[in-house]
Homo-oligomer: A and B are copies of this chain.
C-alpha cells in the first residue's frame, strides 16, 4: 500500500492512478462533515479516516497533518464565493435583501457550500490557529477582494464586514445554538425580517449622537 500512496501524496495531478482522486475526494468530504460537526479540536485524523472508510495512514499520505487537511477543506466553493460577492453589485434599493439572501442562502443551501463554512466557524471559535486562517480568509477573500462596489472603498468594506458578521451571528443562532425563536422561522420569513437591518448597515448614515 505505502509506495503507491507515497507517490500520490506528492501532490502531482499527473501520474495519479484512477482510484486516487476519488479516495482523496472521499476523505475531503468526510473531513468537511467531521470538522463541521465536531470542530477543529474535536476532530482527529483517525475519526475522519473511519468516516471515509480508509486507513488513517492514507489520510496522512494525502494531506500530511490535521492542519493541512483543514486548510484543504476550507476551500469554499468558487460558486458560493461568487454569489456572496455579486450580491453587492446592483441597484441600491434592494442591496440589503440581495446580500441577506446570498449569505443566508449559502449557509442554508447545499451542504458542500455550508459545511466548509460551518467547519471554519466552529474551528475559528475553538482554535487560535484556525482563527488566524479564518481572519485571513474573511479579510482578504471576502472583504478586500470583493466585487467592484468594495474596491478601495474602506467605508463599504467596514459596512460589509459588519453586515457579514451579523449574518454569521444569525447562522450561529439558527444552526449551531438553535435558539427556538430563530429555528422556527422559515428562511424567506427570516430574510424579510433581516433585510431591512442589513440594508441599514450597508447604506445608512452612522448615528453619531451625544451620550
Contact = CB atoms under 8 A, between A and B. Distances in A.
A92 interface: no
A192 B208 CA distance: 5
Interface string A169-198: 110111011111110010001101111111
A125 B158 CA distance: 25
Given A179-B135, A201-B197, A170 B172 contact: no
B197 A198 contact: yes
A204 B197 contact: yes
Contacts of A139: 179-181
Nearest to A39: B126
A196 B192 contact: no
Contact of A194 (B38, B96, B124, B201): B201
A114 interface: no
Contacts of A189: 206
A78 to B, nearest CB: 22
A198 B199 CA distance: 11
A41 interface: yes
- How many copies the complex holds: the figure is 2
Interface residues of A, number: 61
A203 B166 CA distance: 17
Contact of A173 (B168, B195, B201): B168
A27 interface: no
Interface of A: 38-39, 41-42, 96-97, 121-122, 124-127, 131, 134-135, 138-139, 143, 157-170, 172-174, 176-182, 185, 189-190, 192-201, 204-209
22 contacts: A39-B41, A96-B207, A134-B177, A135-B177, A135-B179, A138-B173, A138-B179, A158-B182, A158-B185, A160-B181, A161-B173, A162-B193, A162-B197, A163-B197, A166-B197, A168-B169, A168-B172, A169-B170, A169-B172, A197-B197, A197-B201, A200-B200
